[in-house]
Amino acid sequence: MKVLKLLLVALLSLTMFVGCGDEEEAVLVIYTPNSESLIEAVIPAFEAKYEIDVQVMTLGTGDCLTRIASEKENPQADVQWGGMTPANYENDTTLWEEYVSPNDKNLPEAYQNYAGVVSRYALDGSAALLLNLDVFKKLGLNPDEFKGYNDLLNPALKGQIAMGNPAKSSSAWAELTNMLLVMGEEPYDDKAWEWVEQFIANLDGKIVDSSSAIYKGTSSGEYAVGVSYEDPCVSLLVDGATNVKLVYPEEGAVWLPAGMAIVKNAPHLENAKKFIDFVQSEEGQKAVAQTTARPVIPTITNTAEQILPFADINVVYEDIPFCTEKKPEWQQKWLDLVQQ
């Protein structure tokens, strides 16, 4: 099995892509915001099956999309794996190749391909509140009394909360829409926005640039609470972390299908198609199940005992098309509230 190469942005050079125009070259270039555990579970299995050398660049979702757009005239990536929401696709439909895997039909209808472009491969928990137990103790707070979103308004937590930018990060955007769904009298109403305004005030101007900095910063004690997503938070628990606790908001938590897509004029188009096929196959989904991401095929269950069953969580369901339609308006509203 080949060694997985996680490429740092600062070290990426054009020489890495010499010969990428050769369709027969056994190379695949992926841009992804996915966690290291998911990358390490899926990529080596794909490499071993197809003898394709996968080069992975890890970036935040917004940075992935910006880079792909900037490389439009000379694409360097083949696949964006993760962060491909309907809204991100609709933002610039010219950046992506149309492709529907033959395996797509095996997914639940709600999670099947979007617009002939966006393929789903996992279910992301939007609402994961990661608590640092040591910081809670220093603040004189009882983590067992922290139950959900409303507890984020505690004045003792002012400036102690890590939250991403929904205008840049797909996980932060999913968190915002989760909040708007459950924190009003009705989904997405003015009362929900009033709550968001109070929450922003309690952030005290601290907006975190990347999704990974949220759970890593919380785990290291930089923050008391990280407003994150399920996969990396459960990964900390699986890896043996004892200084953190994961809380699913009692008000309700959403799971959304994670998406991937092939870059328009991908240098290694056929290899990109093989990757989409693999991740949606039973073999690929079982690889996903070895991590803390939930497979998009619900009959394939996770192996980690730290993953709480859906039966023990207040699961709620988002109106994905409505949120997609509202995304530009709501992102701007968030920015306006932050700048007040």
Question: DSSP per residue over 107-154, as a string?
Answer: S-GGGSPBTTTBEEEEEEES-EEEEEHHHHHHTT--GGG--SGGGGG-
Q: What is the pLDDT of residue 287?
A: 97
C-alpha radius of gyration, the chain, whole number: 20
One CATH from 3.80.10.10, 3.40.50.620, 3.30.950.10, 3.40.190.10 for 5-124+256-307:
3.40.190.10
Please tell me the predicted confidence (pLDDT) of residue 80: 98
pLDDT the model gives residue 231: 84
CATH number for the domain whose boundaries are 128-251+311-338: 3.40.190.10
CA distances from 267 to 19, 54, 67, 286 (A): 9, 13, 15, 28
- Taking alpha carbons only, the member of 175, 163, 169 closest to residue 223 is 163
**pLDDT at position 13:** 40
How high is the pLDDT of residue 36?
Answer: 87
The whole-number pLDDT of residue 24 equals 52
Give the pLDDT of residue 7: 45
* pLDDT at residue 47, rounded to an integer: 98
**128-251+311-338 has the same fold as 5-124+256-307:** yes
Could you read off the pLDDT tens digit of each residue along the chain, which spans 340 residues?
444 444 433 334 433 444 444 445 899 999 999 888 899 999 999 999 999 999 999 998 889 999 999 999 999 999 999 989 888 999 999 999 999 999 999 998 888 999 999 999 999 899 999 999 999 999 999 999 999 999 999 999 999 999 999 998 888 999 999 999 999 999 999 999 999 999 999 999 999 988 889 999 999 999 999 999 998 899 899 999 999 999 999 999 999 899 999 999 999 999 999 999 999 999 999 999 998 889 999 889 888 889 998 889 998 989 988 998 999 999 999 999 999 8
Domain boundaries, the chain: 5-124+256-307, 128-251+311-338
Nearest CA to 295 out of 152, 116, 179, 122 is that of 122
Given a contact cutoff of 8 angstroms between Cβ atoms, the answer to whether 253 and 59 are in contact is no
CA 145 to chain centroid, in Å, comes to 27
What local confidence, expressed as pLDDT, does residue 28 receive?
98
Measured distance CA(17)–CA(30) in Å, rounded: 12
Whether 83 and 170 have beta carbons less than 8 Å apart is answered as yes
